[in-house]
Amino acid sequence: MISNPFMAPATNPAAPELDEDQLLHVSLGPQHPSTHGVFRMNVVLDGETVVSLKPVFGYLHRNHEKIAEAVTYLSSMPFTDRLDYICPLTNNWAYARAVEQLAGIEVPERAEFIRVITAELTRLINHTAFVGFFLGDMGAWGSALMYAFREREKILDLFEDLTGARMMSNFMRFGGCRNDLPAGWAARASELVNGFPRFLDELENLIIGNEVLLARTQNVGALPKEALINGGITGPMLRAAGVAYDIRKAEPYGIYERFEFRVPLGETGDCYDRLMIRFLELRESLAILRQALAQLPDGPYINPKSKVRNFKPPVGEAYARIEGPKGELGFHLISDGSVNPFRYRIRPPSFINLTLIEDMCLGLDLADVVVILGSVDIVLGEVDR
């Protein structure tokens, strides 16, 4: 039946003949500190070695896609905040972009700048929080996560000033943003961006050379790049394996082609590379932020033609995607010309990045499963939707 060369082997080559009586079935989750929420993995162990791992989803399922079919286009915007609640502003942007393509709305230049600035600040939040959580998964409770959250709180203060809420921002609108930057906001953001490298140096000093971290992450969870592309893996995980595929470069949306930044690539794609990719991307995000804040133009922050009430896009469909902090975040919308979407589909990066979790874990120890899951960087609000 199935002959995909990238499919997981039916039996573990390391232990081809297993005695069913000797196997240990462990249900990891749904209430487990390492699973980042209500996620469960049914793991079968031969001694300490993983021979099978089946993820179980749906504990946070609320059928966001069905809800969106019953409300207007604008009303779905605050729900997108709740997908990946670590980075709501990129979710907003992806959805706004999809509706803009669906209805053919132009975005003014200043709004594009505000979007880039907020999206890159969101990437800072996501990657610093990732480092903290990842270290927490490996048993380094406390320090790294607390330092990361201390810096994150400064960015969240900026977001609160701009959008009115720390996390549930509901900020992007079809054709621009909801409001303009408050007075002095750009200066405060510049100050934060200039102070950020110092914190990154500190965080790197804290963990990068640590022998325990090296031993636990290097050569763990690597897969060949062809398998990763075939498995739909996107974002930092794919680039850690050395595939130069960043949507900001491959399909420059918004105004990303105006900025100079590099796409960091890993070599092997093991958990260590995935951690380092995030550190390098943080520095590139800071480069983008510096340029965007310096070039910020004047002008309208929203297309004056965009409608707030009784918005009806023409009949058609659109798929738009952005490079979210966790990978490719896409929205597929179908309009039948009414005020509600006919079909509203989210392509969640963290859900699809879990496709290969079993392949990555087979033959490794149970303790490595926790590290590998941490390196995928999932948020259950987005996995289960």
Partner 1 sequence: MEHSAAIKRLSDPKPQGRWSLPGIGLVKGLLVTATNMLQSYYRKDRMTTVQYPEQRAPISPNFRNFPFLVYDGDDAMAGLRCTACSICEKECPPQCIYIVLDRDENGKSLKRPKVFDIDVSVCMNCGICAEVCPFDSIYMDGEYELSTSDRFGGLLFNKQRLARSTNYHAKLRPLQAAEVATRRKADEDKKLAAQAAKEAKAEAAKEAKAEADKEAKAAEA
Partner 2 sequence: MMPDLAAILSRVQTALPAAALALRRNPGPAGQDSLLVAPADLVAVCRFLRDTPELAFDLLSNVTGVDWPDPATADAVAVPAEATAPAACGFLEVVYHLYSTPRRVGPLVLRARTADRAAAVQLPSVVAVYRSAEFQEREIYDLFGVIFTGHPDLRRILMWDEFLDHPLRKDYVAPDDYQYEPTPHDAVLEKAKLHYPAKAES
Q: Minimum distance from CB of 52 to partner 1 (Å)?
A: 31
Provide the terminal-to-terminal Cα distance of the chain, rounded to the nearest Å. 31
**Is 168 near partner 1 (CB under 8 A)?**
yes
What pairs with residue 27 in β-bridges? 42
Q: Minimum distance from CB of 82 to partner 1 (Å)?
A: 8
In this complex, which beta carbon is closest to partner 1, that of residue 8 or of residue 186?
186
Q: Minimum distance from CB of 49 to partner 1 (Å)?
A: 25
Could you say which of 273, 368, 382, 384 contacts partner 1 (CB under 8 A)?
A: 273
What pairs with residue 132 in β-bridges? none
**Is 263 near partner 2 (CB under 8 A)?**
no
DSSP code string of 200-225: HHHHHHHHTT-HHHHHHHTTSS---H
**Is 354 near partner 2 (CB under 8 A)?**
yes
Site string for partner 1, 241-270 (x = CB under 8 A): ---x-x--x------------xxxxxx---
6/356 Cα distance (integer angstroms): 10
341/174 Cα distance (integer angstroms): 14
Could you say which of 120, 347, 375, 382 contacts partner 2 (CB under 8 A)?
A: 347
Site string for partner 1, 299-328 (x = CB under 8 A): ---------xx-------------------
Token pair of 149 as six digits: 């959250």
Token pair of 134 as six digits: 């990842």
Q: Which of the listed partners (partner 2, partner 1, none) does 194 bind, with a CB threshold of 5 to 8 Å by partner kind?
A: none
Q: Which of the listed partners (partner 2, partner 1, none) does 307 bind, with a CB threshold of 5 to 8 Å by partner kind?
A: none
**Is 290 near partner 1 (CB under 8 A)?**
no
Could you say which of 196, 279, 301, 344 contacts partner 1 (CB under 8 A)?
A: 279
**Is 67 near partner 2 (CB under 8 A)?**
no
**What single letter denotes the amino acid at residue 152?**
R
In this complex, which beta carbon is closest to partner 2, that of residue 274 or of residue 347?
347
Q: Minimum distance from CB of 54 to partner 2 (Å)?
A: 8
Cβ contacts of 188-192, under 8 Å, gap ≥ 24: 188/158, 188/161, 189/117, 189/121, 189/158, 189/289, 189/293, 190/290, 190/293, 192/154, 192/155, 192/158
The Cα-based distances of 5 to 2, 11, 63, 230, 274 in angstroms read 9, 14, 33, 10, 24
**Is 187 near partner 1 (CB under 8 A)?**
no
**Is 311 near partner 2 (CB under 8 A)?**
no
Tokens 């701009």 correspond to 162
Q: Minimum distance from CB of 94 to partner 1 (Å)?
A: 17
Q: Minimum distance from CB of 244 to partner 1 (Å)?
A: 6
Token pair of 201 as six digits: 């140096």
**What single letter denotes the amino acid at residue 208?**
I
Tokens 């509203």 correspond to 344
**What single letter denotes the amino acid at residue 222?**
A
What pairs with residue 334 in β-bridges? 317, 343
Token pair of 191 as six digits: 């100050």
- Do residues 151 and 206 touch, judged by C-beta distance below 8 A? no
Tell me which stretch binds partner 2 (CB under 8 A): 44-52, 74-82, 204-212, 242-250. Answer: 242-250
**Is 232 near partner 2 (CB under 8 A)?**
yes
The H or E element spanning position 346 is strand 343-347
**Is 53 near partner 2 (CB under 8 A)?**
no
What residues contact residue 347 under an 8 Å CB cut-off, 6+ apart?
A: 321, 328, 329, 330, 331, 332
Q: Minimum distance from CB of 44 to partner 2 (Å)?
A: 15
- CA within 13 Å, CB half, 334: 6
Q: Residues in the site for partner 1, rule: CB under 8 A?
A: 71-72, 74-79, 143, 147, 150, 153, 157, 160-165, 168, 170, 178-179, 182, 202, 204-214, 240, 244, 246, 249, 262-267, 273, 276-277, 279-280, 308-309
Q: Residues in the site for partner 2, rule: CB under 8 A?
A: 1-4, 6-7, 57-58, 61, 63, 65-66, 101-104, 227, 229-234, 243, 245, 250-251, 313-321, 328, 330, 332, 334-336, 342-343, 345, 347, 351-352, 354-356, 384-385
